[in-house]
Amino acid sequence: MNTILSVKNLNKTFRIYEPDRTIKTLENISFDLAEREFLGIVGASGSGKSTILRCVYQTYRVEYGEIRYRSVRYGNIDLARAADREILHIRKKEIAYVSQFLEVLPRITARQSVENSALEVGASYEEAQASAEEMLAYFHLPSDLWDIYPHMFSGGEKLRLNLAKSMVKKPRLLLLDEPTASLDADSKKLVRGILVKLNHEGASMIGIFHDLDFMDGLCNRTLNITVR
């Protein structure tokens, strides 16, 4: 099978000036991700699991190491050295990052925020409308909430909206940073269902989950990070 992502000797250190500290978070992390593979990252808290995902997504800059990603648009590209524009394009169309925190623009309704995501990948307005509704319904978000600003949503509702926003893009590579952290059992089942579906449709995934039962049978492989 083809490799979609290959991380080699990834190192990440945070230099903080006030107070003066240097925090070494990742040291020589290497792994490969095959197409359609689901890799679970496990490790104690503070071991750098999220940092790996954030380096791949380029929220964190990488000082040493390579993150080779096979992009549709740019071919084999090292994300750690890619230009800002390339990263922006890849984020829009190819790689999605889902965390347990919802970040939405103020005064945008739940429906609009999912539609905007769909529009970013290049859907027409009608397509975006249809797929947004489909996603919101799939995640059992009550339809009377669709046209409300999500600030007042409950934790679980926000999370499901967050997932709907990312999933509507049908990303090629999905980075999941504990997206089920505050969900009840039923909602977790839904999330699991859509992850399986996306995975079958061809998406590759890297996920961090606290819930080991949730990971069981979902991930093809796990990567164990030890605390430094």
Residue nearer to another protein on the CB measure, 60 or 214: 60
Distance spanning both ends of the chain, measured CA to CA: 32
Could you tell me which stretch among 2-10, 54-62, 124-132, 170-178 binds another protein (CB under 8 A)? 54-62
**According to the binding rule CB under 8 A, does residue 58 interact with another protein?**
yes
Instruction: Choose which of 54, 70, 160, 172 interacts with another protein (CB under 8 A).
Output: 54
Residue nearer to another protein on the CB measure, 90 or 223: 90
Could you tell me which stretch among 34-42, 81-89, 182-190, 213-221 binds another protein (CB under 8 A)? 81-89
**According to the binding rule CB under 8 A, does residue 200 interact with another protein?**
no
Rounded to whole angstroms, the Cα distance separating 72 from 86 reads 12
Concatenate the DSSP letters of all residues of 145-187 into one string: GTTS-GGGS-HHHHHHHHHHHHHTT--SEEEEESTTTT--HHH
List the x/- string, 168-187, binding to another protein by CB under 8 A: --------------------
Minimum Å gap between C-beta 16 and another protein is 7
Q: Check whether the bond before 106 is cis (ω within 30° of 0).
A: no
Minimum Å gap between C-beta 60 and another protein is 5
Could you tell me which stretch among 58-66, 123-131, 151-159, 219-227 binds another protein (CB under 8 A)? 58-66
List the x/- string, 84-123, binding to another protein by CB under 8 A: xx-xx----------------xxx--------x-------
Q: What is the Cβ-side half-sphere exposure of residue 218, based on CA atoms within 13 angstroms?
A: 24
Sheet holding 21-34, edge to edge: 21-34, 3-16, 64-71, 75-78
Between β-strands 204-208 and 221-224, what pairing exists: parallel, antiparallel or unpaired?
unpaired
Minimum Å gap between C-beta 213 and another protein is 31
- Could you tell me the CA-to-CA distances from 34 to 6, 21, 144, 153, 167 in Å, in that order? 9, 37, 41, 37, 20
* Tally of CB atoms within 10 A around 34: 16
* Tally of CB atoms within 10 A around 153: 19
Amino acid at 18: E
Binders of another protein: how many residues, by CB under 8 A? 18
Minimum Å gap between C-beta 105 and another protein is 6
**According to the binding rule CB under 8 A, does residue 23 interact with another protein?**
no
Binding site for another protein (CB under 8 A): 14-18, 54, 58-61, 84-85, 87-88, 105-107, 116
